[in-house]
Amino acid sequence: MADLGGDSKRWEILKAATRVFQRKGYRDTTMKDLAEESGVSMDELKVYFPTKAHIFTEVSEYLINQIGESALRKTRSVPSDDPRDVLKNWIRGYLEAVYFLYDEYLKIMMDFWNVGTVPEDPDSLEHKRLKDMYSKAREFFKEVIKEGIEKGVFREVDPELAASTLMAMLDGTVLQWLIFDKGFNLALSAETMLEIFMEGLEICDEKGKKA
Protein backbone atom coordinates (compact mmCIF):
# COMPACT_ATOMS: atom_id res chain seq x y z
CA MET A 1 0.00 0.00 0.00
CA ALA A 2 1.21 3.49 -0.84
CA ASP A 3 1.56 6.06 1.95
CA LEU A 4 -1.64 7.95 2.72
CA GLY A 5 0.34 10.84 4.15
CA GLY A 6 -0.56 12.70 7.32
CA ASP A 7 -0.12 11.12 10.75
CA SER A 8 2.60 8.46 10.48
CA LYS A 9 1.32 6.49 13.48
CA ARG A 10 -2.17 6.34 11.98
CA TRP A 11 -0.67 5.13 8.71
CA GLU A 12 1.40 2.44 10.46
CA ILE A 13 -1.76 1.18 12.17
CA LEU A 14 -3.58 1.00 8.83
CA LYS A 15 -0.73 -0.92 7.22
CA ALA A 16 -0.65 -3.37 10.12
CA ALA A 17 -4.44 -3.72 10.01
CA THR A 18 -4.29 -4.51 6.29
CA ARG A 19 -1.99 -7.44 7.01
CA VAL A 20 -4.25 -8.77 9.77
CA PHE A 21 -7.50 -8.41 7.83
CA GLN A 22 -5.98 -10.10 4.79
CA ARG A 23 -4.64 -12.93 6.95
CA LYS A 24 -7.58 -13.54 9.31
CA GLY A 25 -10.59 -11.92 7.66
CA TYR A 26 -12.75 -9.18 9.13
CA ARG A 27 -15.03 -11.20 11.39
CA ASP A 28 -12.19 -13.19 13.01
CA THR A 29 -10.01 -10.15 13.63
CA THR A 30 -10.16 -8.48 17.05
CA MET A 31 -9.04 -5.08 18.25
CA LYS A 32 -6.43 -6.93 20.32
CA ASP A 33 -5.05 -8.49 17.12
CA LEU A 34 -4.84 -5.06 15.52
CA ALA A 35 -3.13 -3.49 18.52
CA GLU A 36 -0.55 -6.27 18.73
CA GLU A 37 0.24 -6.15 15.01
CA SER A 38 0.53 -2.36 15.18
CA GLY A 39 2.75 -2.40 18.26
CA VAL A 40 0.47 -0.09 20.22
CA SER A 41 -1.69 -0.43 23.32
CA MET A 42 -5.45 -0.82 23.09
CA ASP A 43 -5.91 2.67 24.51
CA GLU A 44 -3.59 4.18 21.90
CA LEU A 45 -5.30 2.26 19.10
CA LYS A 46 -8.69 3.65 20.15
CA VAL A 47 -7.35 7.20 20.03
CA TYR A 48 -7.01 6.75 16.26
CA PHE A 49 -9.83 4.28 15.61
CA PRO A 50 -12.62 3.75 18.17
CA THR A 51 -13.77 0.43 16.68
CA LYS A 52 -12.69 -2.35 14.37
CA ALA A 53 -15.28 -1.16 11.86
CA HIS A 54 -13.61 2.25 11.62
CA ILE A 55 -10.24 0.68 10.81
CA PHE A 56 -11.70 -1.81 8.36
CA THR A 57 -13.73 0.73 6.42
CA GLU A 58 -10.76 3.06 6.09
CA VAL A 59 -8.53 0.25 4.79
CA SER A 60 -11.25 -0.92 2.39
CA GLU A 61 -12.01 2.57 1.13
CA TYR A 62 -8.35 3.22 0.47
CA LEU A 63 -8.07 0.07 -1.66
CA ILE A 64 -11.30 0.80 -3.54
CA ASN A 65 -10.21 4.38 -4.14
CA GLN A 66 -7.05 2.99 -5.72
CA ILE A 67 -9.25 1.12 -8.19
CA GLY A 68 -11.26 4.26 -8.94
CA GLU A 69 -8.13 6.35 -9.44
CA SER A 70 -6.73 3.73 -11.81
CA ALA A 71 -9.94 3.92 -13.85
CA LEU A 72 -9.72 7.71 -14.01
CA ARG A 73 -6.07 7.56 -15.08
CA LYS A 74 -7.06 5.21 -17.89
CA THR A 75 -9.77 7.64 -18.96
CA ARG A 76 -7.40 10.62 -18.90
CA SER A 77 -4.68 8.72 -20.76
CA VAL A 78 -6.93 8.71 -23.83
CA PRO A 79 -8.36 12.26 -23.77
CA SER A 80 -11.81 12.41 -25.32
CA ASP A 81 -15.02 14.31 -24.71
CA ASP A 82 -17.03 11.51 -26.31
CA PRO A 83 -19.13 9.86 -23.55
CA ARG A 84 -18.69 6.50 -25.30
CA ASP A 85 -14.92 6.69 -24.89
CA VAL A 86 -15.22 7.87 -21.29
CA LEU A 87 -17.33 4.83 -20.36
CA LYS A 88 -15.15 2.34 -22.22
CA ASN A 89 -11.85 3.62 -20.87
CA TRP A 90 -13.12 3.94 -17.30
CA ILE A 91 -14.38 0.36 -17.30
CA ARG A 92 -11.15 -0.97 -18.80
CA GLY A 93 -9.11 0.89 -16.20
CA TYR A 94 -11.38 -0.33 -13.41
CA LEU A 95 -11.06 -3.99 -14.35
CA GLU A 96 -7.30 -3.71 -14.86
CA ALA A 97 -6.98 -2.42 -11.29
CA VAL A 98 -9.35 -5.10 -9.98
CA TYR A 99 -7.16 -7.76 -11.55
CA PHE A 100 -4.12 -6.66 -9.57
CA LEU A 101 -5.64 -5.40 -6.31
CA TYR A 102 -8.05 -8.28 -5.82
CA ASP A 103 -5.15 -10.66 -6.28
CA GLU A 104 -3.26 -9.05 -3.39
CA TYR A 105 -6.15 -8.01 -1.14
CA LEU A 106 -8.91 -10.43 -2.09
CA LYS A 107 -10.07 -11.28 1.44
CA ILE A 108 -10.38 -7.63 2.44
CA MET A 109 -12.26 -6.62 -0.69
CA MET A 110 -14.73 -9.50 -0.44
CA ASP A 111 -15.23 -9.01 3.29
CA PHE A 112 -16.07 -5.34 2.77
CA TRP A 113 -18.62 -6.25 0.12
CA ASN A 114 -20.12 -9.06 2.23
CA VAL A 115 -20.30 -7.09 5.47
CA GLY A 116 -21.62 -4.02 3.68
CA THR A 117 -24.35 -5.76 1.69
CA VAL A 118 -25.62 -8.10 4.42
CA PRO A 119 -24.95 -6.13 7.61
CA GLU A 120 -25.86 -7.41 11.05
CA ASP A 121 -26.88 -3.82 11.74
CA PRO A 122 -28.54 -1.84 8.88
CA ASP A 123 -27.06 1.33 10.40
CA SER A 124 -23.55 -0.10 10.51
CA LEU A 125 -20.64 2.03 9.37
CA GLU A 126 -19.64 -0.58 6.78
CA HIS A 127 -23.12 -0.55 5.19
CA LYS A 128 -23.29 3.25 5.11
CA ARG A 129 -19.84 3.58 3.53
CA LEU A 130 -20.51 0.91 0.90
CA LYS A 131 -23.86 2.50 0.04
CA ASP A 132 -22.18 5.89 -0.28
CA MET A 133 -19.49 4.52 -2.58
CA TYR A 134 -22.05 2.84 -4.83
CA SER A 135 -24.10 6.04 -4.93
CA LYS A 136 -21.08 8.06 -6.07
CA ALA A 137 -20.21 5.53 -8.77
CA ARG A 138 -23.81 5.43 -10.01
CA GLU A 139 -23.90 9.23 -10.13
CA PHE A 140 -20.72 9.28 -12.23
CA PHE A 141 -22.11 6.78 -14.75
CA LYS A 142 -25.49 8.53 -14.77
CA GLU A 143 -23.91 11.87 -15.71
CA VAL A 144 -21.82 10.33 -18.50
CA ILE A 145 -24.86 8.55 -19.93
CA LYS A 146 -26.97 11.71 -19.63
CA GLU A 147 -24.30 13.62 -21.55
CA GLY A 148 -24.32 10.94 -24.25
CA ILE A 149 -28.08 11.31 -24.62
CA GLU A 150 -27.78 15.10 -24.87
CA LYS A 151 -25.06 14.75 -27.53
CA GLY A 152 -27.20 12.36 -29.53
CA VAL A 153 -24.90 9.32 -29.30
CA PHE A 154 -26.97 7.37 -26.73
CA ARG A 155 -30.61 6.37 -26.95
CA GLU A 156 -33.25 7.98 -24.74
CA VAL A 157 -33.03 5.82 -21.64
CA ASP A 158 -33.34 6.46 -17.93
CA PRO A 159 -29.72 7.44 -17.10
CA GLU A 160 -29.95 6.26 -13.50
CA LEU A 161 -31.36 2.84 -14.41
CA ALA A 162 -28.78 2.45 -17.18
CA ALA A 163 -26.02 3.34 -14.70
CA SER A 164 -27.33 0.76 -12.21
CA THR A 165 -27.46 -1.86 -14.97
CA LEU A 166 -23.86 -1.16 -15.96
CA MET A 167 -22.72 -1.45 -12.34
CA ALA A 168 -24.56 -4.76 -12.00
CA MET A 169 -22.76 -6.06 -15.08
CA LEU A 170 -19.42 -4.99 -13.64
CA ASP A 171 -20.11 -6.59 -10.26
CA GLY A 172 -21.35 -9.78 -11.90
CA THR A 173 -18.29 -10.04 -14.13
CA VAL A 174 -15.89 -9.65 -11.21
CA LEU A 175 -17.88 -11.99 -8.96
CA GLN A 176 -17.90 -14.80 -11.54
CA TRP A 177 -14.20 -14.28 -12.17
CA LEU A 178 -13.59 -14.84 -8.44
CA ILE A 179 -16.04 -17.76 -8.13
CA PHE A 180 -14.29 -19.60 -10.94
CA ASP A 181 -10.86 -18.97 -9.40
CA LYS A 182 -9.95 -16.37 -12.02
CA GLY A 183 -10.34 -19.11 -14.60
CA PHE A 184 -11.29 -16.86 -17.50
CA ASN A 185 -9.76 -13.82 -19.15
CA LEU A 186 -11.08 -10.78 -17.30
CA ALA A 187 -9.92 -8.33 -19.97
CA LEU A 188 -11.65 -10.30 -22.73
CA SER A 189 -14.78 -10.59 -20.63
CA ALA A 190 -14.71 -6.82 -20.13
CA GLU A 191 -14.63 -6.22 -23.87
CA THR A 192 -17.58 -8.59 -24.38
CA MET A 193 -19.53 -6.85 -21.63
CA LEU A 194 -18.75 -3.45 -23.14
CA GLU A 195 -19.84 -4.59 -26.58
CA ILE A 196 -23.19 -5.85 -25.29
CA PHE A 197 -23.88 -2.79 -23.13
CA MET A 198 -22.80 -0.22 -25.70
CA GLU A 199 -24.72 -1.92 -28.52
CA GLY A 200 -27.88 -1.49 -26.48
CA LEU A 201 -27.10 2.12 -25.59
CA GLU A 202 -25.70 3.66 -28.76
CA ILE A 203 -27.87 5.19 -31.47
CA CYS A 204 -27.61 3.65 -34.94
CA ASP A 205 -29.21 4.67 -38.24
CA GLU A 206 -31.35 2.36 -40.38
CA LYS A 207 -28.22 0.78 -41.84
CA GLY A 208 -26.81 0.05 -38.41
CA LYS A 209 -24.22 2.83 -38.58
CA LYS A 210 -23.49 4.41 -35.19
CA ALA A 211 -24.10 8.10 -34.62
Per-residue pLDDT of the chain (211 residues; tens, 9 = 90+): 444 444 789 999 999 999 999 999 999 999 999 999 999 999 999 999 999 999 999 999 888 888 888 888 877 877 788 999 999 988 888 888 888 887 778 788 888 888 888 767 778 888 888 889 899 999 999 999 999 999 999 999 999 999 999 999 999 988 888 888 788 888 888 899 999 999 999 876 554 555 5
pLDDT of residue 94: 87
Tell me, what's the pLDDT at 168?
94
The answer to whether 1-50 and 57-201 have equal CATH topology is no
- Give the per-residue pLDDT at 33: 97
Domain ranges, ordered by start, for the chain: 1-50, 57-201
CATH of 57-201, one of 3.30.70.3190, 3.40.449.10, 1.10.357.10, 1.20.1260.10: 1.10.357.10
pLDDT in tens, 109-166: 888 888 888 767 778 888 888 889 899 999 999 999 999 999 999 999 999 999 999 9
> Which amino acid is it at 177?
W
The CATH homologous superfamily of the domain defined by 1-50: Homeodomain-like (1.10.10.60)
